[in-house]
Structure 1
Amino acid sequence: MNNILIIGAGRSATALINYTLNKAKENNWFVTVADADPALAERKVNNHPNGRATWLDALKDNDRRELIGRADVVVSLLPAHLHFEVAQDCVKLKKHLITASYVSQEMQKLGDKVRNHELIFMGELGLDPGIDHMSAMQRIEAIKAKGGKITAFRSYAGGVVAPESDDNPWHYKFTWNPRNVVRAGTGTAQFFENGKFKYVPYHRLFREHWMVNIQDMGEWEAYANRDSMLYREVYGLNGIPNIVRGTLRHKGFCDAWAALIKIGLTDSSFPIFDSAKLSYHEL
């Protein structure tokens, strides 16, 4: 039996936990879900015969390594800054690793050790990044197979609310760590447009959005998503004059978020003391 360890049982983990448990019997898997909130992990496992929930403080090295040591495959759905600790353990204990987060420079530096141990480390396997990469390569390879030439690459993704659940003025709901949504207001973006390098600082990111028409879904706002330049080589599109990866949101989202950035609500570099006593206007 193959043992799968999923570290983290938060919002982003629900679909994966359900999938692995549903497929566990036919694939001879046993799934362990570890989280700092054991009650949350237990609810996600839901007494499945091929699964168990357990407590884990990912910052406690010995506890983390003990769990990883029992696994064949580790899936880290921890906050991105904690992946490296898990990755180092997986290299040392010779365990395969999967994450949904962007591959950091720290993680890239482990590449030689991973290959030397004949391990599989796979990152960027979520929605964005993840499914967008797979659909992109599917299209790119299909076009090249027909002898086509690609002069522009534009990819859009977004965790949008289903129409039947769209019941708030923001037209948005948190399906992942809310802190990461806020931190998106502190990031920059860069891409190529008509052969020119474009850099967007964080305070302009949501102001410089544009409209995209999606078949059968109408118009959506889009804003540039991080560093599109990295993927020219990855996608085999070196020299292409237009490449941008974008995030989709409902109309009005970007202007509202730009206002939050302008008044400093996405800046976590300083604390606001006694904020509970202040009105929204005073904040």
Structure 2
Amino acid sequence: MARIHWLGAGLSTVPGIRRLIERGHSITVWNRTVEKAQEATKGLSGDFDIRAFSLEALESDLKAGDLAVSMLPGDFHVAVAQMCLDAGANFVSSSYIAPEMRALDAAAKEKGLTLVNEVGLDPGIDHLMAHVLMDDYKNSPAFATDNAHYFRSYCGGLSEVPNDFCYKFSWAPLGVLKALRSPSKSLRNGKVYDVSRPWDAVESYKIDLEKGSETFEVYPNRDSYPFMDEYGFGKDWNVQQFVRGTLRYGGWSTAWADLFKEIETLQGEAGDKRLAEISADLWDKYALGEGEHDRVVLSVDLWAERNGEQVYNKSYVVDAYGDDTHTAMARLVSIPVSYAVEAVLKGEISAGVSAAPSDVTVAKKWLGDLLAAGEKMTIVDHLA
């Protein structure tokens, strides 16, 4: 039986680890702190063991036919993927595909190995929803390439109860702060929309949720353009808006205004040191506390207009809450990762470097499995 090497046992990984063990898979859980991995697997029985993580130890243990799941910081992914190629093993990660990862595609195909990425929440579940909506639209009578097309995908990890900071951290804030220093590229009013800092592009965004309508703040992140091809938007289509971005509680941009001003001034090594100090301070003040629960909101919208009139308008929406067992973020990141692991082991994903499955049958199955596991997600037809 192929052995799964799950690397990293932080809070966001626990539900996926436990699901695979409970389903009878052979797993080695690797973590720098062995005690944390022991806590993640507490109360379970099965074919699993725990090892102290290092790249050297993993390399000596990885065998042909095995699979490595990297839930480590992004800097490790390519090194682990290369190690898998050398050993004849497969690879899964929830992170975005870096250019260095993409460069391994030809070698992976030549060896018949699968390197799957972008199979968590965002990226991951959002991809599945986009593929399902696009398939539905293309097979509807409303479809026409010259329609005016609008696509928005926003996701946010939030606190269950809003606070004065409009945010609570369920893991170290440094990643959130670094993302605020990154530019974005999206499509707006049919033109390229380049933004150097997120706070320059914050907009209000209303979502119809099970408990009623709620208005959030959203902003674009990263480069949305590659996902137009990924989701099947033709180059001859009339696309007026295409954006993938981040969602926050209303009032977030005001609550964080002073923080934005300081972040904008930080540069070089001294700036990185100060960013780490800010991260530590925010963790002390705004970490998710004992007994507090998190919330995840994800909304993927696709609509089309003809002669100024909407002919198609559907949204996929998730509004999930943590509980005393796991955070919503942990479930929605690591459970889809476990689906990807099983799909790779069954040979259901082609060799090479890829993101979450674009096959609509697979996308619907994974979303259906999440529903069956208790997650709440709905498709809203705004024209019905």
TM-score by length of 2: 0.64
Are 1:36 and 2:35 an aligned pair?
Answer: no
Deviates more, 1:221-230 or 1:69-78: 69-78
Question: Where in structure 2 are the equivalents of 1:1-283 lying within 5 Å?
Answer: 1-23=1-23, 25=24, 29-50=25-46, 51-57=48-54, 61-69=55-63, 72-147=66-141, 148-149=143-144, 151-162=149-160, 166=161, 168-202=163-197, 205-215=198-208, 216-239=212-235, 240-264=239-263, 267=266, 269=268, 270=270, 271=273
Deviations 1:100-126 (A, max 9, x none): 111000000000000011111111111
Deviations 1:48-88 (A, max 9, x none): 2222221113xxx4212123337722110011111011010
Please give the secondary structure, in 2, of the residue aligned with 1:46. coil
Q: CA RMSD in A?
A: 2.4
- 1 CA distance for matches of 2:37 and 2:244? 34
Please give the secondary structure, in 2, of the residue aligned with 1:160. strand
Aligned length in residues: 264
Please give the secondary structure, in 2, of the residue aligned with 1:69. coil
Higher strand share: 2
Contact 1:207 1:255 in 2 (8 A): no
Shift of 1:182: 1.4
Q: Report the identity percentage.
A: 29
Contact 2:164 2:255 in 1 (8 A): no
Deviations 1:27-56 (A, max 9, x none): xx1122101111101100115222222111
Unaligned stretches of 5+ residues in structure 2 = 283-384
- 2 CA distance for matches of 1:115 and 1:176? 35
Deviations 1:169-193 (A, max 9, x none): 2242323443211111111111011
Query: 1:177/1:119 Cα in 2 relative to 1: closer, same or farther (>3 Å)?
Result: farther
Residue identity in the other structure for 1:173: K
- 1 CA distance for matches of 2:11 and 2:136? 34
Residue identity in the other structure for 2:201: E
Deviations 1:201-237 (A, max 9, x none): 02xx123211111112411111112111111111111
- By relative contact order (CA 8 Å, sep 6+), the higher-ranking structure is 2
Shift of 1:268: 6.7
Deviates more, 1:244-253 or 1:63-72: 63-72
- 2 CA distance for matches of 1:265 and 1:19? 42
Contact 2:64 2:89 in 1 (8 A): no
- 2 CA distance for matches of 1:247 and 1:68? 37
Shift of 1:241: 2.7
Deviates more, 1:83-92 or 1:251-260: 251-260
- 2 CA distance for matches of 1:137 and 1:4? 28
TM-score by length of 1: 0.85
Contact 2:64 2:88 in 1 (8 A): no
Shift of 1:158: 1.4
Deviations 1:92-151 (A, max 9, x none): 111111101110000000000000111111111111111000001000011101242461
- 2 CA distance for matches of 1:78 and 1:217? 36
